[in-house]
Structure formats: structure tokens, C-alpha cells
Structure 1
Amino acid sequence: MEIASKLRCPAVLLLVFLGFNTIDSCSSEKVLLVPPPRGKSHWMALAKVGRALVEKGHLVTVVVSEDIVEKRRTEWPDFQFEAFQDQGIEARLKTLQDNVHSVARILSLYELRDIFVTAFGEFRNYCALLLAHFRVPHIALMRGDPNCLDEKATGVPLPPSYVPSLATDFTDDMSFAQRLQNVLLYTFLPMISRWGASSLYDELVRKYVGEEETIQSVTSRTDLWLYLTDNVLDFPRPIMPNMVQVGGLNVREADPLTEDTETFVQSSGEDGVIVVSFGSMVKTMSKDKREIFAAAFARLRQKVVWRYVGEKPAGLGNNTKLLGWLPQNDLLAHPKTRVFVTHAGLNGVYEALHHGVPMVCLPLFADEPANAARVVARGLGVTLDFSTVTADQLYQAILLVLTNNSYHETAARLSRLHRDQPQSPMERAVWWIEHVIQHGRLPHLRARAVELPWYQYYLLDVAALLLSVCSAVLVTLWCGCSLVCRKCCANGGGKLKSQ
């Protein structure tokens, strides 16, 4: 759901498991992958999990629209596919995505609103297929839910005093003004988002699941949450036992570069290489922006490998190589790579973290400002405003990260921390998935908070009782004191009268 993430929250990807016929083993089980209708980076993360499951002997089936099923079969021959007619939804979402994100730019609030309304209206048509299978154990793979359903479904309290919203670029060390904004976001954004989700999906839920069900109640029965987060990069926050961090599962061991690219990289000598990429959706830049970037890169002593499609910038330097497709992970793993200039997409940030490469971030939309804030807070790099950046600012930022040893030392240290785990993120994800396959639903890991009505969750019934008891005691004391005072006054008045 790449379009959905324009509100700075990546979309939910669901794994639905079928055929739990064994108890003592989890060999050769059936796994159904339900990817979002759009979003290459989200699909790649889900597909890599599917491939890991195939390597463990499981049968993986992917549900896709007829428009792209042949392409998916060619790219992923290990999977089985179930195609369905989507009435042109895939094509319309692709057109919307290309119109909005083919050129790198900051979106206005009005554009974000229009994208949200249009995209989620299309997503509604995908929901029926998902809900039809929702009675089997299921797992969510996600960074965050744009509908904020997961916050309530996991039963985790999120203190706004130190847990920044993904819709902001705040860190866990917030000023008073930031904490105020964070409280307002945590209060009103979930209310609005859940209301929108309910209005779109509750009718489908009642049709395919049950008359008494809602999209929130269905989401709350998720058996396992695989979050694309990591303790090294993300800020600490409360979690439940069925919430597992698998940030960085997209990272793999590097493959050799093509001969042409390797020759170019080696020609950089001791100065090294700068890798530049703004993700799979951004194809090109406006004329003024591409000239700004080209001018900044031309001033560098390093060689630059830039993922770029479109008209060649007039000011492009001889040190810069343009590529329509970038072997990003392989380049970041190369010993000659010095800095990564990025939009701070989640996959790229984790690849840079894994390989120990400091970053210059120019976030555009979705969770990218939040990702960039974490990069800066951890000392992994710097961030710039894409909409106002100048050639000199970009050049100075790259130069700062290149020449300040603290960024490289921090990147190397955090890379060692990120790698020093008993399991890789992918191994951990597969282990938990097979744990669900073997044992079915895991109710012992789910918080009871999910099932409590709101007044019990916030202890309003207890507060009401305590308030009633305290009020009764205070009223009793007041009445008793008033009665004693009246008696004393009455007795005193009688004595004076008799005298």
C-alpha cells in the first residue's frame, strides 16, 4: 500500500496461513501471501519472507491481480499464484502513484488528503479477498498502520511523552511544544483514521466475517505482528510478546557489481564513492532540482553513482554516473562507498545501517522524515530540507559527513550492534512464522487489553467507584460535622437563655 503511506505511515502487509494439519512439526505447510495492490518496496520485503519460507520447504501462494500475474511468475518462479480480476484497480493506483511520485518533490497537505481518499477507496475492493480468509491464523508484516488500527489491536500503551508519532520527525527527547503536538496527534489522528477505516471497511467485514464484527475487532485478532523496526535505529517503546522486531530483513549479502560499475567504482581510488538514490518510486527530478544535485556532485572529489531516469542534467560532472537501476545493497556493501545520499526510505536506511555507511537524508513523504530523524539522533548522518536545499548546502552536508570521522565511527559501531544478534531479522521472522504454523493461534501472547471495553481499559469504572466511595465518605463526614456543630450551637444557646 505505497500510496497509503503518504501520511507518513507504511502500510500493512498480511500473511495468511492455511492448512494447519500438523502439531509436532511445521514441514511443508501452505502459506498464502496477500500483498498490497501497489508498493514495490513493501512487496519485496514480503516476497523475501516468502522465499525464505520456500527454502524451508513450505508451499507459498501469492494472490495478485491478472494484470501483473505473469510478471510475478517470471520474477518469482518458486511461488504459486492465484490471479483475480481487479476491475482496473492496479492500473489506476499505478497511474496515481506515477503522477504523484515520479518526480521527487514535497507533497502539500491537500495532495496528501486527495491521495488518501482516492487510494483507500480503491483499497476497499481488495479487502473482501483478505477478509474472506481472516478466520485462519494470520500475521501482519509492517512498519506502522496508516489507519492506526494496530495501536488499539496490540493493546500497547504509547506514552506520548517519549514515543514520537511516525507522522512527525520528533525524537524521544522532545521539547514541551513537541510533546504538546505529539499528544494532539496521538489523540486526534487515531480517532480520524479509525473512523475513516470503519466507514470504508466495516460493511465488508459484516458481509464476510460476521454481523457483529468491525474492521477493528478483526484486526485485533491478529496472531503475530512482525514490525520492521530495530532497537539500534528506533527509539525504545513498550511492546507485547506477540510483537517481534524484524527491521533489516531486506538486507542480504552483497553480490558482485557488473564489470562496468565495478570499473567505475575502482576508478575512485582512495577518495571513494557516493551512492545516491531516492527509491523505486521516484524516477526523476524537476529541472531546477536536478541541476542543484548535479552541481553539488560535480564539486566532489569522490565518484558519484546516481540512480536517475530522465533528461541528463546540463551541469553533470565527469565524476557522476547515472544509472536507471541501482544495485543499492551491493554498492552500499562495497568497501569504497563513503556516503549514502537518500530519501530515507526504510529499506535503504537499514541497508546503510547494516553495511555501516553514514547518510545525508532528504526525506520527501510518508515515514521518511521520521526515519531521517532517527538517523540524525543516532549520529548516522545529517538531514536537509529537499524543498529548499541549495547546491552549496548539499555539497557542504556531504563534505561534513565525509570529513567528520564521528559519522563513520558511529556507523561502524551501530553496524556491529545491528549485526550482533542471535538470529538475523529474516531468521527471526521465519522462526516466528513457523511457530504460528506449528501451534496455530497464540492467545497466550496477546494482551487482555485488546478485549476490554474502553471504560475498563482506562479504569473509568474503578475511578467511578473510588470517586463514589470518596464522595460518600466526604458527604458523611460533612453531615456528621454539621450535625455536631448544630447540636453544640443549640446546647450553647439554651444555656445562655436559661442564664
Structure 2
Amino acid sequence: MTPVAEGFRYALLKLLTKSCCMKLSTALRLYNYSWDSPASNDMAGIQKVYCSIILLLLLCFVISHKSSGEKILLVPMPLFSSHWMVEASIGQALVGKGHVVTVVVEEDIVAKRRAERPDFTFETFQDDGFGSRLRKFQDDMYDIADSVSAYNELGEHSRASEWAKEHCEQLLGKDARGDSNMLGRLKTAQYSVVISDPFLRCGTIVAANLGIPHIANSADDGTFFDKMATGVPLPLAYVPSIELGYTDQMTFLQRLENTCFFGLSNIFKSWLYANVYHDLVHTYVSEKETIQSLTSHTDLWLYHTDTVLGFPRPSMPNMVQVGGLMADRPVVPLSVDIEDFMQSSGDDGIIVVSFGSMVHTMSTERKEMFAAVFAQLRQKVVWRYLGEKPAGLGNNTKLMSWLPQKDLLAHPKTRAFVNHAGRNGVYEALYHGVPMVCLPLFGDQPGNSARVVARGLGVSLDFRTVTSDQFHQAVLRVLTISSYRETAARLSRLYRDQPQSPMDRAVWWIEHVIKHGGLPHLRARAVELPWYQYYLLDVAAFLLAICSAVLGTLWYSCSSVCRKVCCKRGGKLRSRRKATIIYV
């Protein structure tokens, strides 16, 4: 919606509200007249007036509710559909609260986004294909997943960040091929807050340019962002980096690797972001600012984690856990053919299989291996699958290009969930108490899988090296050992026992930020300290200097006393020796 149309809408709402109130006043006068007049026995007329008053009251309530809504700007990143699903679900919840949600999106996918979310408005820009390149990069990551490690991901992150910079230049209008009027339109619209994914920092720059509060919606646990942007302590002895797939009980070698990886990642990403966004920050915000200083001004951090599945760790007041935002949405009845397939499984039940975006690039050999294992099971299998049907596909397996995943996991016939440990799927399985077999690849998936295993929710396999026999045994283990289902049911009850749902909590905090124009009082001063002050190295150096001075003084004093005592004793001995010699 353009600023002109938005302004017209606002004026119309105000006019309707005023008109509504005038009509209500007239109706009340008419009602009083009708009641007091001799013709008050005309009950039909009175009922008409009474109904009109009720309708006008309802209309005034609806109009005033809609007109009081805030304008919220979403700046999603063009990578990973799971990230967009979460951001869109938050936006939809905000629309349900009467707010107007606008999404900044590339022209080549705006039609798709409009079809998905017709309640949103959209600001479009021409990105000259950079968004498409980033999405191709995502597919390439799945193609090379067999050879990607946590350390390789740093290099891939560098490549993605360079493309993200060009994408951001197009959005802000710095590039001649971009939309130079975008920021002007955004300023005219007078948004109340910007919500963006911190993986790409363009939303941070937009919020600073507009001078409005910023909310970071982090799809993972933000281990790197925590320290750099919130100042929260990160005890690496029991807080593992999400990419490594460790738990909070690490061996010495694991703690060593965790420390080295965090240090390397910290240094590399600080350098990377500083270089990638340096010119954009100086052009659109201030030469006194850096991307790190802007990020540290973020008013609220929404983390897709939860204490039931995550490991205990330090936090800050502006860090809010909202893990499983979409897990508690209402269950939709399955289509007739899927429901019939579910019921045909009998007491054995069914297994839900989904590998997310990995399904696009999975090798034929891997697909055949999975199909052969599924064919050996007594359970029936619903598998999200794209491509040519495997030759060894069993009669018990139903292939579908798209799955109503949450509705399947909520079904009483579901016995297990085979997945890639994507965060959304893991929380949906947790919510419905379904044990899992996880085959993580990269990103946050190893960490999610480690948490599933640590909590007793399922088992994890290495996607790169798993064999047919290992996969078969893992599935049978989850199906036959009752402790997995019992643990899943217990954790599901624990997860559901919250005063607010994750979505309600996210919406409340977003509205809290808007209501107060930001939450600077929740930001720790730790983000403003240089590293040597944060780690108290200057204090340690001062205390070390004092201790050294005291010890040095004591040593010197003791040495001086000892020398004097020794000299006196030596003098007396020499005098005695001389006296003895003279006497002799």
C-alpha cells in the first residue's frame, strides 16, 4: 500500500469514527424520545432503534480497534523458507491484533508472498536477481552438505554475506539499479517498529535510518549474537556453539574445540560484518556508528528456544524465548485420502518423514536407501518427497510433495518423526509428544539434534555417513523402546504448561516495545564496554600490579633485613676470629 493510499485509509477511518459517533448520538436521542413519547407502546419501532444502537456500537468498536492499530515493518531475509514462515506467522498474529503489517520484499517473489499472506501489505524493490542468487546458494548448501563442516560454514557465510550486501544496497537504493525512493516511502508511512532477522543486518540499518525501535527475530539460539549484541555472559564450559552439536556436558576436548570455534567465529564474523556493512552504515546512518553498535541498540531479541528443549544458560532482560511459535496453532482435519491412509495403519501407526528443503537436493542413492528401509517396517509411512519415485518403494509408503506436517504429528496414529532437525519441526514434535529420528546437516540442525538426544526425545544419526542398517536400527529403537514415547509425552506436558503461548508472548513483547517507543532500560551496558573491560582484564592487571608491588616490596625488605643481619653476624664472627688470633 502506497503512502497516499495509507493516508487516505487513515483519514477515512477517522471520518467514519466521527460519523459513527454522531449517528449513535442521534439514535440515543431518538431512543429517549421514543421511550418517553405517547407512542412508546410501539415496541416494533423501539426494537428497531435498539438494534440500530447495538449495530452502531459494534461498528464503532471495530473501527476504533482497527484505527488504533500500529504500523509494523517486516524486513525478512531472502534465505531459508523456514525463517520466512516464522516471521510471517508473527506478522499474521499482529494483524489479528489490529495492526497493519508491511513486508519489504523483492519484486520477483511478491506475487507468491501476496498469495501466501493476503492480509499483509508489501513494499517492493528490484534486487537485480540477488535474492534469487541467495536462494540458489541455499540449494547449493544442501548439494554439498556431505562435505560441509562447522568450519566450512564460516567460508560459506562470507559468500552469502557479500551477496546479502548487494541485496541490501538494492533495498536501500545505494545501487543505481535499486529503488532510491524506498527509504522515503518508509519514512512517510511512519512505522512504529522494524522486525528483522539478525542473520542479515539490513533491517538493523533501516530501523536506525527511520529512527524507530528495532526487534531482532532470531531463528536460532543466537550464540554469536548474544555476546556481541546483548553483552550476555557465555560460559563456554557449558554453553555449546549451536553448529558443533555438543550438549552442556562436554569433555575436555569438546570444551577445547568449543572455545576455539567460538573465538574463531567471533573474530571472523566481527571482521566480516564490519567490512560488509561499513559503507552502508556510514551512508544511511552515521559515520560515528558501526554495524555492531547499531545491532547492540536492538530493543528486543526474540529467540526461538525454550527451557524444556534448550540447555540452561545466562540471559538478559531483552532476550525473550519464544521457541515453537507455530507449534500450538489449531489442528486442521486431514483430507479424506490421508485420513483413510492413517486409519489403515491399524495399531502399528504411521511414521512422518520430512527433510525440509533438503528434499530438493537429496541424492538418488540416499532416497533409495530410505525407501528400502521404510519398506521393511510394519508401520505405514507418509514421506514428503519430490522427484522420481524410488525403485524400492514399498506399498506401505505414501509420497507427497507437501505435508500437513503439524496436523500429521497431532494425529493419534503417529508413532515417530524422521526429520533433519529443523527447529520448527522439532518444536512441533515436542508439542505433540512424538519421538524423533534426526539426521542433521548444517547450521542449527546439529545443535537441535543434540538437544533432542540429551532430553531423551529420540536418536541422532550422521547424514553424511549413515548406512541402511544404522538407519533401520535407529527407527526400530524409537518405535519399540517405550521410554522415548514416555519422555516425549512428559516433555510435551511440560512444554504446554506455560502462562502464555510462545506466540502470545512474542506479540505482547512487540506491543510493549511499540507502546513505550523502545526499551533502552533493558539493554546491558556490557555492549558499550571494550573487550578488556568486559573481561575485567584492566582490573586484573591493576590487582596484579598491586600484588606484584607488595610482594616486591616485601621481598626487597626481607632481603635487606637478611643482608643486614648476615652482615652484623659476619662482622662479629670476624672480630672474634681476630681477637682469637691476637690472643694466641
Q: Aligned to 2:249, what secondary structure does the other structure show?
A: coil
Q: CA-to-partner distance for each residue in 1:266-314, whole Å, 9 max, x for gaps? A: 1111111100000135325322111111110001111100000011100
Q: Corresponding residue for 2:279?
A: 203
Q: CA offset at residue 480 of structure 1?
A: 2.0
Q: Corresponding residue for 1:464?
A: 541
Matched, 1:400 2:440: no
Counterpart-to-counterpart distance in 2, 1:490 and 1:288:
90
Counterpart-to-counterpart distance in 1, 2:470 and 2:535:
49
- The match for 1:260 among 337, 344, 365 is 337
Q: Corresponding residue for 2:128?
A: 87
Of the structure 1 ranges 256-265 and 136-145, higher mean CA displacement relative to structure 2 is found in 136-145
Q: How does 1:214-225 map to 2 (within 5 A)?
A: 214-225=290-301
Q: Corresponding residue for 1:364?
A: 441
Q: Corresponding residue for 1:140?
A: 216
Is residue 104–residue 284 contact of structure 1 (8 Å, CA) maintained in 2?
A: no
Counterpart-to-counterpart distance in 2, 1:466 and 1:405:
57
Q: Corresponding residue for 1:77?
A: 118
Q: How does 1:223-262 map to 2 (within 5 A)?
A: 223-251=299-327, 252-262=329-339
Structure with the bigger RCO (C-alpha within 8 Å, sep 6+) is: 1
Which sections of structure 1, spanning at least 5 residues, go unmatched?
1-25
Counterpart-to-counterpart distance in 2, 1:120 and 1:465:
41
Question: How many residue pairs align between the two structures?
Answer: 475
Of the structure 1 ranges 191-200 and 476-485, higher mean CA displacement relative to structure 2 is found in 476-485
Counterpart-to-counterpart distance in 2, 1:121 and 1:494:
81
Q: Aligned to 2:483, what secondary structure does the other structure show?
A: helix
Which sections of structure 2, spanning at least 5 residues, go unmatched?
1-66, 173-202, 580-584
Q: How does 1:33-112 map to 2 (within 5 A)?
A: 33-101=74-142, 105-109=145-149, 112=153
Is residue 441–residue 463 contact of structure 2 (8 Å, CA) maintained in 1?
A: yes
Is residue 150–residue 219 contact of structure 1 (8 Å, CA) maintained in 2?
A: no
Amino acid at match of 2:84: W
Q: Corresponding residue for 1:181?
A: 257
Q: Aligned to 1:117, what secondary structure does the other structure show?
A: helix
With normalisation by structure 2, the TM-score equals 0.78
More helix by share: 2
Counterpart-to-counterpart distance in 2, 1:328 and 1:54:
24
Is residue 274–residue 303 contact of structure 1 (8 Å, CA) maintained in 2?
A: yes
Q: Aligned to 1:106, what secondary structure does the other structure show?
A: helix
Q: Aligned to 1:334, what secondary structure does the other structure show?
A: coil
With normalisation by structure 1, the TM-score equals 0.91
Measured at CA, do residues 484 and 405 of structure 1 come closer, stay the same or move farther in structure 2, by a change above 3 Å?
Answer: same
Matched, 1:278 2:355: yes
Q: CA offset at residue 88 of structure 1?
A: 1.1
Q: Aligned to 1:253, what secondary structure does the other structure show?
A: coil
Q: Corresponding residue for 1:22?
A: none
* Structure showing greater Rg: 2
Q: Give the superposed CA RMSD.
A: 2.1
Q: Aligned to 1:133, what secondary structure does the other structure show?
A: helix
- The match for 2:163 among 106, 122, 130 is 122
Of the structure 1 ranges 442-451 and 165-174, higher mean CA displacement relative to structure 2 is found in 442-451
Counterpart-to-counterpart distance in 2, 1:45 and 1:296:
33
Q: CA-to-partner distance for each residue in 1:409-455, whole Å, 9 max, x for gaps? A: 00000000000000000000001001101112212211121111222
Q: CA offset at residue 27 of structure 1?
A: 4.1
Counterpart-to-counterpart distance in 1, 2:451 and 2:538:
39
Q: Aligned to 1:68, what secondary structure does the other structure show?
A: helix
Identity among equivalent pairs (%):
64
Q: CA offset at residue 105 of structure 1?
A: 4.6
Q: Corresponding residue for 1:418?
A: 495
Amino acid at match of 2:70: E
Is residue 146–residue 193 contact of structure 1 (8 Å, CA) maintained in 2?
A: no
Amino acid at match of 1:106: D
- Structure 1 segments of 4 or more deviating over 6 A? none
Q: Aligned to 1:174, what secondary structure does the other structure show?
A: coil
